[in-house]
Amino acid sequence: MSLEAITLSVDAMGGDYGPEVVVRGAVQFLRDGSEDNENVTLLLVGDETVIRDILTAEGAENLPSIEIVHTSEEIGMCDHPMQSVRAKPNASLVVAAKLVAEGRASATVSAGNTGACLVAAIQYIGRIDGVARPAIAAPMPTATGRPTLLMDAGANVDCQLSHLVQFGILGSVYAERVFGRSNPSVALLSNGEEDTKGNQLTKAVRAALEAAPINFIGCTEGNHVLDGVIDVVVCDGFDGNVLVKGVEGMASVAISVLKDVIAENPDQPILHEAVRRVAKRVDYAEIGGAPLIGIKGISIIAHGRSNAYTMMNAIRAAVRAGRSGVVEKLVDAGRIMSGGASS
């Protein structure tokens, strides 16, 4: 049976390494032979001449699953998010969000300016009614290979109690629908598992999450986030972003040390296999990107340093989310939360 047809808008100009990486990733996705790319159309948004040149170089100029949406503006990685979205309505990441808002695409993918992606998604795609603060949900690598969803990974550095409770509810819905987790477990990030640990906000949030309609299992410490036994971990965007960057740094150190060991022992194939397995388990390129949860559509935000492989996986993540029906379930959750949401 054929999979549901789905169209994605891809910001072809975003990211540290420019359109070549994004376009190559899109082509790789369409050619990888998996069922994910069945009945998928990619709208590559950006400078048409640049995109066509890259497609030609890749021998993909006639791929029927790719369409180009020309734009004449770009938002740089260091541009001010709010100001740049307002000043550049024809920027690639803004137009990519507008295509979702207009119903021409079901999801959007960008490795561009994260703040601008947030602003464009909220301004054009819109928040789900009842959701106070959309959050970036970072799928964290774990020891079991079963990603843990970290809510929030950087969208909201200052949070109220109600925001954090909503993160737990929204994250639970996403983990169930997109990751296929049954009755997903939700934990609150703290400096200890005991009831007495945490600041005043953490203690209050813990009590509120215990009363929420989710499978709340209590508090967890940062060293247990990567164990692979928790489905969703709730925190504010400040702590979440620090944790994500710390994990990325530690992963880089681990891979670097292993490569040094290989260089000293080049005739040990088991070491090469160990590095390959570690890299596959901890590399953010395997996950592709983080969804912005709480908007009326799918927006996958990829790392600014994404390569073509990362972009391929970010597109895959958007396709799977788009086909999961998660937005409708999140809208239902928003209705339930609407009585107590605050801005």
pLDDT digits (tens, 9 = 90+) for 47-88: 999 999 999 999 999 999 999 999 999 999 999 999 999 999
pLDDT at 318: 97
Does domain 135-283 correspond to CATH entry 3.40.50.800?
Answer: no
- Residue 260 in 3-state DSSP? helix
Task: From 25, 284, 277, select the one nearest 138 (Cα to Cα).
Answer: 284
CATH class of 6-129+294-330: alpha beta
- Reading the block at residue 233, the tokens are 């971990």
Q: Where are the domains of the chain?
A: 6-129+294-330, 135-283
DSSP structure string for 170-211: HHHHHHHHTS--SS-EEEEE-S-SSTT-S-HHHHHHHHHHHH
Low-confidence ranges of the chain (pLDDT < 50): 340-343
pLDDT at 274: 79
pLDDT at 1: 61
First to last CA, the chain: 44
pLDDT at 219: 97
What is the Cα gyration radius of the chain?
20
pLDDT at 105: 97
pLDDT at 341: 44
pLDDT digits (tens, 9 = 90+) for 226-273: 999 999 999 999 999 999 999 988 888 888 888 888 888 888 888 888
Give the pTM.
0.92
- N residues, the chain: 343
* DSSP label of 91: B
Residue with tokens 């939360």: 337
Instruction: Quickly count: other Cβ atoms within 10 Å of residue 315's Cβ.
Output: 28
